[in-house]
């Protein structure tokens, strides 16, 4: 167990900050993201110590952000290892530059973005989101990123496009976990197009005001805050617009345990454990899991009329 009690977040000493609910409202109204609080330019990446940029902040519910050390030393990234405490070490030398992201499929203007194109074309802002893993632990992470819709609008999905498929880089020489035969590599994920266009669906290139470290999905990853963490696919090299629902790694491995939607839902248990509560990293007692991970007012409309137990 990597998180020691000495590292427990002293929540009660954090200063009160303005509610982040205002941020969400703005984000939804603006849709394009204009007018939001821009984050400071990423500091030069360093490997140790929290930055004052996000330390002490809270999400819109008043929950303290997790410590930087916790966020970058307790990771799921199976391409490296299934040991959460071992990812950071194995991923330390991972090559993230140069990097390109191909956006293709059912679009009018397919485009391959270099990382610099992305940094220049889209303005990152700080977005503090809860991350709720399907394994029933959670963190609050201050990401730096922008809405995926900004990329999708540039490439112009055609009227046939209904889903978006994401693919992680596959580099066996740098990713020892790829030799694990239990998984259908490369890691893939998918969203319905309307989910992908939702302003909360975020492309992150940083956290705590600095560039993502490899273990967090450098140089570019997805963050879908109302879905279980495995939907937030790391180190993306391809984004494809499709007509059919794409196969995803977890849905392929265990369709009865990991549905395509995977919306956080305390009322629908995993077949092998309850999803009603969770362990927030840095806290002792468990806390109740919130429907749609607390983003219900923002996203419930996407699922109007859908049976969430059948469409888990
Ligand atoms: N490519 C890839 N993306 C991935 C994973 C993975 O193993 N490979 N793990 C997922 C899971 S299960 C979770 S909970 C989150 C964890 O993100 P974090 O390590 O930054 O907290 O990443 C998701 N994205
Ligand atoms: Mo997860």
Ligand 1 touching residue 292 (CB < 6 A):
no
Does residue 308 belong to any structural domain of this protein? no
How many domains does the chain divide into? 1
CA dist 21 and 220 (Å) reads 25
Q: In testing the pocket of ligand 1, which one of 138, 217, 248, 262 has its CB within 8 Å of the most ligand atoms?
A: 217
Does residue 310 belong to any structural domain of this protein? no
CA dist 54 and 58 (Å) reads 9
Model pLDDT, residue 142 = 97
Residue 28 pLDDT exceeds 80: no
Q: What angle do CA 234, 206, 44 make, to 5 degrees?
A: 130
How does pLDDT run across 242-295, given as a tens digit for each residue? 999 999 999 999 999 999 999 999 999 999 999 999 999 999 999 999 999 999
Ligand 1 atom at minimum distance from 77 CA? 7
With a CB cutoff of 8 Å and minimum separation 6, the contacts of 120 are none
- 287: domain CATH number is 3.90.420.10
Residue 60 pLDDT exceeds 80: yes
Model pLDDT, residue 165 = 99
- The SS3 call for residue 223 is strand
Model pLDDT, residue 56 = 80
Ligand 2 centre distance from Cα of residue 79 (Å): 13
Ligand 1 touching residue 77 (CB < 6 A):
yes
How does pLDDT run across 207-250, given as a tens digit for each residue? 999 999 999 999 999 999 999 999 999 999 999 999 999 999 99
First to last CA, the chain: 30
- Name the band, by pLDDT with cuts 50, 70 and 90, for residue 41: very low
Q: Running DSSP on this structure, what letter comes out for residue 291?
A: G
Does residue 193 belong to any structural domain of this protein? yes
How does pLDDT run across 6-23, given as a tens digit for each residue? 333 332 222 233 334 434
Does residue 42 belong to any structural domain of this protein? yes
Does residue 234 belong to any structural domain of this protein? yes
Ligand 1 touching residue 258 (CB < 6 A):
no
Does residue 309 belong to any structural domain of this protein? no
Ligand 2 centre distance from Cα of residue 135 (Å): 6
pTM of the entire structure? 0.86
Ligand 1 atom at minimum distance from 84 CA? 19
**Protein residue closest via CA to atom 16 of ligand 1:** 76
- Nearest-ligand number for the alpha carbon of 139: 1
CA dist 34 and 145 (Å) reads 13
Q: Are strands 236-242 and 163-168 parallel, antiparallel or unpaired?
A: antiparallel
Does residue 81 belong to any structural domain of this protein? yes
Q: Tell me if 261 sits within 8 A of 249, measured CB to CB.
A: no
CA dist 106 and 242 (Å) reads 6
CA dist 261 and 249 (Å) reads 13
- The SS3 call for residue 295 is coil
**Protein residue closest via CA to atom 15 of ligand 1:** 229
With a CB cutoff of 8 Å and minimum separation 6, the contacts of 62 are 16, 19
Does residue 312 belong to any structural domain of this protein? no
How does pLDDT run across 149-198, given as a tens digit for each residue? 999 999 999 999 999 999 999 999 999 999 999 999 999 999 999 999 99
Residue 11: domain span: 2-303
């Amino acid at each position: 167990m990597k998180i020691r009690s000495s590292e427990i977040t002293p929540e009660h000493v954090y200063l009160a900050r303005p509610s982040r609910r205002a941020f969400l409202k703005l984000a939804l109204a603006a849709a394009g993201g204009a007018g939001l609080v821009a984050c400071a330019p990423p500091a030069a990446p360093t490997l140790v110590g929290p930055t004052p940029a996000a330390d002490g902040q809270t999400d819109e519910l008043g929950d303290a952000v997790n410590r930087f050390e916790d966020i970058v030393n307790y990771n799921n990234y199976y391409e490296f290892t299934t040991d959460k405490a071992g990812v950071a070490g194995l991923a330390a030398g991972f090559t993230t530059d140069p990097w390109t992201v191909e956006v293709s499929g059912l679009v009018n203007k397919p485009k391959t973005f270099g990382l610099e194109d992305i940094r220049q074309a889209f303005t990152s802002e700080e977005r503090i989101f809860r991350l709720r893993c399907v394994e029933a632990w959670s963190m609050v992470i201050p990401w730096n990123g922008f809405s995926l819709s900004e990329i999708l609008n540039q490439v112009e999905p055609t009227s046939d496009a209904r889903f978006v498929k994401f693919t992680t880089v596959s580099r066996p020489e740098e990713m020892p976990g790829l030799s694990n035969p239990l998984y259908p590599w490369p890691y893939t994920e998918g969203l319905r197009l309307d989910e992908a266009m939702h302003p909360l669906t975020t492309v992150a290139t940083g956290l705590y005001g600095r560039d993502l470290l490899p273990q967090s999905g450098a140089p570019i990853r997805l963050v879908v805050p109302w879905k279980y963490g495995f939907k937030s696919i790391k180190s993306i090299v391809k984004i494809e617009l499709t007509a059919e629902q794409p196969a995803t790694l977890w849905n392929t491995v265990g369709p009865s345990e990991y549905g395509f939607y995977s919306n956080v839902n305390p009322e629908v248990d995993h077949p092998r454990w309850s999803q009603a509560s969770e362990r927030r990293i840095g806290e002792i007692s468990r806390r109740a899991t919130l429907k749609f991970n607390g983003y219900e007012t923002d996203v419930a409309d996407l699922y109007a009329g859908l049976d969430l137990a059948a469409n888990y």
